[in-house]
Amino acid sequence: MTERPPVVVHPLSPTGGRRVTIRGAIVGLAYGVPDLLEFLRRAGLDPDTVRLDDPALIEWRGGGPDVWM
């Protein structure tokens, strides 16, 4: 069985922003990379060392880190 990344950034919502889940729990709606990094910091990850292109950490659905609007 393949393990899923602990962070999922969901597709853009109709009202804007992207839902973020960490370990299956919804942590909020991100409107850009700074919001995502704050959610990761609150989850105990160092935002200065996080690689947004690390597929073992983040699963991007509906576009990568450059899709917010």
Per residue in 15-26, pLDDT tens? Answer: 889 999 999 999
Tell me what the mean pLDDT of segment 7-19 comes to: 95
Residue 69 lies in a domain: no
What range does the domain containing 27 cover?
Answer: 7-60
CA distances 67 to 13, 44, 45, 58, Å, are 11, 24, 22, 14
How many domains would you assign to the chain? 1
Predicted local distance difference test score (pLDDT) of residue 46: 94
- Does 42 map to a domain? yes
Taking the model in full, what pTM does it have?
Answer: 0.91
pLDDT attached to residue 2 = 58
